[in-house]
Amino acid sequence: MTDRDRFPQGEWFLRFASNDRIWYAYLYAFSGKDGESSYMDDGSRLSWLIVILLLLAAMFFAVAETAFASVSKTRLKTRADKGDRRAKKALFITDNFDRAITTILICTNIVHLAAASLVTVIVTRKWGLSAVTVSTLLTTLAVFFFGEMLPKSIARKYSESLSLFTASPLSFFMTILKPFALLLTAIGNFVSGLTKGDAEATVTEEELYDIIEDMTEEGALDEDQMELISSALQFKDVNVESIVTSRVDVAALDVTMEQDKILERIKDENHSRLPVYEGSIDNIIGVLQIRKYIKAYLKEQEALDLRSLLDEPYFVHQSTKIDDLLTTMSQKKLNMAIVTDNYGGTLGIVTVEDILEELVGEIWDEDDRVVNSITPMAEGAYSVDAEESVLDVLEELDIDYTEEEEDRLMNKLMSELVFENFTDMPKEGDSFFFLGTQITVLSMKRSRIYRVKVRKCSPEELAEQADESRQKEETE
């Protein structure tokens, strides 16, 4: 008796032989005219339609998984706050992501197994068991490409819109499969709890910078917020030497100065405090509070003893981190610190305002003189303050640089960059090429550079400069 004779009309069974046992997989096929099966016609078309629907379902769950794994929760929250119902559902899924992943895995496995089984039955019915191996291979490739790789690639690119699109259907599946998801999650947690596991993952500083950059690109942060967060992250790595007011720019008083000269100096400088030295600026003996001095001078006039008004100076080495210095100055209620070099001499001074400006940017008050650090000139050139940071100038002028160059140029001033590119002391008019620009010394007094000109070079100039450098290297 054949399988056709053994079972009712319209019902077909696929027989598999294994270890002398007969296993039958049931497949229902529609009956045709005259009681004969028309599986090769209507039934086969319906079966392939079901396979296609299963493949679409696999694509849906792959899209949902990747979209919710990649989407910005901040942007969803913004949409939800504006009343977007889909965003609220999507936000619920992200808040219960473990449960969502379990649901997706259950559905994905059901869909994949159903598709593979149905294709196997169809192929076996039409071509026999010999075609099963080929059909399995082709089905695996189709499911991998159309049901996994392609939808996940698309979902990563359009994570926000696709997470909103899949939120409602996925919420439905999470609801009906909640008991199974909770059961499987509990089993998984129990098994994983039997092992110690790796230490809890932490975010590295580089990953944190990447997150900030991504949030800025997505619009969750504006440029000012990004710069503030980046400054806060870099704050702990900045040395006092990077923000010091150089000794040549320090307005200081000689303890032996006459009262009228002291008053004239105070009037010219507009500072609330001035360091006081004896003999030379390398021997600072105290810090004078201008308000205290004025009050005392009005009482004692020329008989005033300057030494009696001085606050004890606080010295700090140039290598000190500014976050440590800020904590110390806050505890000691200090406003100014004297920065020393490796030989004990005075390198300059640093104030609390200088430290805070490193974090939040320039702080202006009514006594500050506004100086444009970067001023446009003719022919696309710029006049740049030599005390300006190299990286700030490159960013302001939209000049590209690599990560290695960023590390090398960190906290470097334009004046330092100029001196590094000359073997002898440069003079006004001297220039050099750097990262596609020509930098020229504009203003200089003695050995100090005040301003430089930065001009972007044309491609022809860059090619000519590269040829000259190559010829110079060959000559050497």
Number of domains within the chain: 3
Is the pLDDT at 416 greater than 80? The verdict is yes
In this structure, are 381 and 411 located in the same domain?
Answer: yes
Q: Of the candidates 360, 391, 414, which is a domain's last residue?
A: 360
What's the domain range around 84?
38-193
Instruction: Evaluate whether residue 52 is within a structural domain.
Output: yes
Torsion angles phi and psi, residue 162, rounded to 5? -75, -30
Which conformational region is residue 417 in: left (phi greater than 0), alpha (psi within -120 to 50 degrees), or beta? alpha
In this structure, are 271 and 395 located in the same domain?
Answer: no
Most confidently modeled range among 24-28, 189-193, 347-351: 347-351
* Both structure tokens of 324: 């440590």
Q: Of the candidates 297, 329, 360, which is a domain's last residue?
A: 360
Burial class (CB in 10 A: 0-12, 13-18, 19+), 112: buried
Contact 54, 142 (CB under 8 A): no
Is the pLDDT at 291 greater than 50? The verdict is yes
In this structure, are 127 and 153 located in the same domain?
Answer: yes
In this structure, are 133 and 279 located in the same domain?
Answer: no
pLDDT value of residue 245? 86
Mean pLDDT of the region 193-209:
63
Cα separation of 175 and 390, whole Å? 57
User: At a CB cut-off of 8 Å and minimum separation 6, what does 99 contact?
Assistant: 174, 178, 181, 182, 185
Instruction: Return the CATH number at 395.
Output: 3.30.465.10
User: At a CB cut-off of 8 Å and minimum separation 6, what does 388 contact?
Assistant: 373, 374, 413, 414
For the chain, what is the HEC assignment? Answer: CCHHHHCCCCEEEEEEEECCEEEEEEEECCECHHHCECHHHHHHHHHHHHHHHHHHHHHHHHHHHHHHHHCCHHHHHHHHHCCCHHHHHHHHHHHCHHHHHHHHHHHHHHHHHHHHHHHHHHHHHHHCHHHHHHHHHHHHHHHHHHHHHHHHHHHHHCHHHHHHHHHHHHHHHHHHCHHHHHHHHHHHHHHHHCCCCCCCCCCCHHHHHHHHHHHHHHCCCCHHHHHHHHHHHHHCCCEHHHCCEEHHHCCCEECCCCHHHHHHHHHHHCCCEEEEEECEEEEEEEEEEHHHHHHHHHHHHHHCCHHHHCECCCEEECCCEHHHHHHHHHHHCCCEEEEECCCCCEEEEEEHHHHHHHHHCCCCCCCCCCCCCEEECHHHEEEEECCCEHHHHHHHCCCCCCHHHHHHHCCCEHHHHHHHCCCCCCCCCCEEEECCEEEEEEEEECCEEEEEEEEECCHHHHHHHHHHHHHHHHHC
pLDDT value of residue 220? 64
What's the pLDDT tens digit per position in 74-111? 778 878 888 888 888 888 888 888 888 888 988 888 88
Is the pLDDT at 64 greater than 60? The verdict is yes
Cα separation of 99 and 103, whole Å? 6
pLDDT value of residue 277? 92
Distances from the Cα of 366 to the Cαs of 149, 311, 369, in angstroms? 61, 25, 8
What's the pLDDT tens digit per position in 110-148? 888 888 888 888 878 777 776 777 777 887 888 888 878
pLDDT value of residue 144? 82
Where do we find the tokens 């140029």?
409
Instruction: Evaluate whether residue 122 is within a structural domain.
Output: yes
Mean pLDDT of the region 56-72:
87
Q: How many CB atoms lie within 10 A of CB 88?
A: 15
The gap between the terminal CA atoms of the chain, to the nearest Å, is 97
Torsion angles phi and psi, residue 441, rounded to 5? -75, 120
In this structure, are 48 and 112 located in the same domain?
Answer: yes
pLDDT value of residue 339? 92
Q: What band does 227 get if pLDDT is binned at 50, 70 and 90?
A: confident
Where do we find the tokens 């050139």?
381
Cα separation of 135 and 120, whole Å? 7
Instruction: Return the CATH number at 272.
Output: 3.10.580.10
Amino acid at position 288, single letter:
L
pLDDT value of residue 472? 65
Which conformational region is residue 152 in: left (phi greater than 0), alpha (psi within -120 to 50 degrees), or beta? alpha
Cα separation of 178 and 172, whole Å? 10
Mean pLDDT of the region 310-339:
90
Cα separation of 288 and 274, whole Å? 5
Among the ranges given (28-42, 356-370, 379-393), the one the predictor scored with the smallest mean pLDDT: 28-42
Is the pLDDT at 11 greater than 50? The verdict is no
In this structure, are 354 and 396 located in the same domain?
Answer: no
Instruction: Evaluate whether residue 65 is within a structural domain.
Output: yes
pTM of the model: 0.49
Is the pLDDT at 467 greater than 80? The verdict is no
Q: Of the candidates 360, 392, 418, which is a domain's last residue?
A: 360
In this structure, are 406 and 452 located in the same domain?
Answer: yes
Of 391, 414, 387, 389, the residue nearest 402 (C-alpha): 391
Instruction: Evaluate whether residue 86 is within a structural domain.
Output: yes
In this structure, are 283 and 409 located in the same domain?
Answer: no
Instruction: Evaluate whether residue 102 is within a structural domain.
Output: yes
Q: How many CB atoms lie within 10 A of CB 141?
A: 10
In this structure, are 43 and 162 located in the same domain?
Answer: yes
In this structure, are 187 and 283 located in the same domain?
Answer: no
Is the pLDDT at 392 greater than 90? The verdict is no
pLDDT value of residue 21? 36
In this structure, are 355 and 290 located in the same domain?
Answer: yes
In this structure, are 356 and 381 located in the same domain?
Answer: no
What's the pLDDT tens digit per position in 229-244? 777 777 777 888 888 8
Is the pLDDT at 408 greater than 70? The verdict is yes
Of 271, 254, 247, the residue nearest 339 (C-alpha): 247
Q: What band does 337 get if pLDDT is binned at 50, 70 and 90?
A: very high
Contact 253, 265 (CB under 8 A): yes
pLDDT value of residue 303? 73
Instruction: Evaluate whether residue 327 is within a structural domain.
Output: yes
Instruction: Evaluate whether residue 141 is within a structural domain.
Output: yes
Instruction: Evaluate whether residue 365 is within a structural domain.
Output: no
